[in-house]
Structure 1
Amino acid sequence: MGHAADRRPGTRVDRMMTVPAAVSRSDRASATREAILNAAERLFAEEGLFAVSNRRVSEAAGQGNNAAVGYHFGTKTDLVRAIAHRHNGPIERTRARMVAEVGETDDTRAWLACMVRPVTDHLADLGRPTWFARFSVQAMADPGYHRLMAEESLSSSSLRRALHGLQASTPHLTREVGEERREMFRHLVLNVCAVRERELAEGEPTRWPTWDDTATGLIDALYGLMTAPMTPIGTIRR
């Protein structure tokens, strides 16, 4: 008569039986994390970060355990960082390639393209509907998360290089005015993308046919912003 397989812990049979189970648990955990990220990004984009609790995110992600967000991510801040991080990866790869292609140049438009097109290309690649642009606007407008989002963006070496190139290509701007206009730059890009994202999601007419056209329009506007002369402080504006 054959002997029953040895299923004692640590034996080959035991390992054969537990590895698939471990893989299955890992797959389920990954799927749960992805569901939470998707639900959180949508809710934060539509309602704002302050208005949405971790409990609501767990429910929207189809999790029976209301503490699922805390278990998989920790705090809401950790969840917001995770959402930003998963988008920043593909954006960074595109921008790194563009910055390498630009090399050393004083062409303001080239540096603007390095900053704008990686974002619009990513939104185009996501398909529709998307929530990332609206999520970013909500997060940047929230005093509790503005700094986190800025730090996440500036962790990108290619973005820092593009900012340096843009600054070098606009030497007529003082440091203070340059910072002021780059802040306007961020708001313009995020809000224009958020408006188009909402229009696409709701089936409304859009100003530009494609995300590529949106980038072109933004670059034109930003070129005007960054190359415009300065009015000296205290001058009466007419």
Structure 2
Amino acid sequence: MSPAKDQRTDRSSVTRDALLGAAERLFAEHGMHAVSNRQISEAAGQGNNAAACYHFGSRADLLRAIETRHRTAIDAIRSRKLEELDSSHELRDWIGVLVYPFTEHLEALGAPTSYARFAAQAMADPTYRDLVVAGALTSDLMLKTVRGINRCLPDRPKRVRLGRWMMASNLLMHTCAEIEGELAIGKPSVSSNWSVVAEELITALVGLWEAPPARPANTTSARPGRDANSSITV
């Protein structure tokens, strides 16, 4: 490769990184639909207002690129945690494999960060949830983590397990997003230490998963041969 081509490649890489950083921050602060490609290009210091389109094509490709940039680092941490865990049967250990990769990655990025808020925005947006989040939740490393957590749990109906996973993913993502937002303005209300945040999250998630299922709701209806006030278990 010629020196001139090397320089063009380097400039392109720098521009892409600037666009990814600007897009992530703007999406985190304003949501997925309130940010234009022109705003992203301007925030990245690009004179060409179509720079985001030129380097990434569609909005979907831009979002995937942001997620992929972080997912590589998070997966590397999760892979290491899984190797260290070996064959533990402790629920807290396995929940740690879920939580630590995310919080350790945020800590490694240095303040201020915007990835947790970006991911929370993606989770809450039905247009982009599957596009950005689904791949991360169904990766081989995540599925191994899920199976490890499930092995440590008491027998639960499938509906309960699915419900707890939905609650857990929202608790993890949105808690980190809230704390990240507070850190970004220098006013943390809980803790500025991601290690402490991780331990609190793990403790909360252990309680969430170990809690017994709610008792089925009772309904009352009048039927032939039954007292109208008798309870019918759903």
Aligned amino acid, residue 191 of structure 1 = H
Alignment of 1:181-196 (within 5 A): 181-196=164-179
Instruction: Let me know the Cα RMSD of the aligned residues.
Output: 1.4
Structure 1 Cα separation of the partners of residues 64 and 20 of structure 2: 10
Aligned amino acid, residue 161 of structure 2 = G
More moved, 146-155 vs 125-134: 146-155
Aligned amino acid, residue 130 of structure 1 = T
Give the aligned partner of residue 92 of structure 1: 75
Give the aligned partner of residue 40 of structure 2: 57
Aligned amino acid, residue 41 of structure 1 = E
Structure 1 residue 174, shift from structure 2 partner: 1.4
Q: Flag as ranges the 4+ runs of structure 1 deviating above 4 A.
A: none
Structure 1 residue 209, shift from structure 2 partner: 4.1
Give the aligned partner of residue 98 of structure 2: 115
More moved, 210-219 vs 151-160: 151-160
User: What's the secondary structure of 1:208's corresponding residue?
Assistant: coil
Structure 1 alignment gaps of length 5 or more = 1-17
Cα deviations across residues 154-207 of structure 1 (Å, max 9, x unaligned)?
353211100111112113221111111111111111111111111111010331
Structure 1 residue 66, shift from structure 2 partner: 1.6
Structure 2 Cα separation of the partners of residues 155 and 112 of structure 1: 16
Structure 2 Cα separation of the partners of residues 71 and 183 of structure 1: 37
Structure 1 residue 101, shift from structure 2 partner: 1.5
1:222 equivalenced with 2:209 (yes/no): no
Structure 2 Cα separation of the partners of residues 152 and 56 of structure 1: 27
TM-score, normalisation: structure 1: 0.88
1:83 equivalenced with 2:66 (yes/no): yes
Alignment of 1:1-238 (within 5 A): 19-235=2-218
- The answer to whether the Cα contact below 8 Å between 1:172 and 1:229 also exists between their aligned partners in 2 is no
| Higher Cα radius of gyration | 1
Structure 2 alignment gaps of length 5 or more = 220-234
Cα deviations across residues 123-172 of structure 1 (Å, max 9, x unaligned)?
00000110000101111111111112232213532111001111121132
Structure 2 Cα separation of the partners of residues 227 and 168 of structure 1: 12
Give the aligned partner of residue 13 of structure 1: none
Report the identity percentage.
Answer: 45
- The answer to whether the Cα contact below 8 Å between 1:81 and 1:152 also exists between their aligned partners in 2 is no
User: What's the secondary structure of 2:2's corresponding residue?
Assistant: helix
| Count of matched residue positions in the alignment of Structure 1 and Structure 2 | 219
Structure 2 Cα separation of the partners of residues 144 and 50 of structure 1: 10
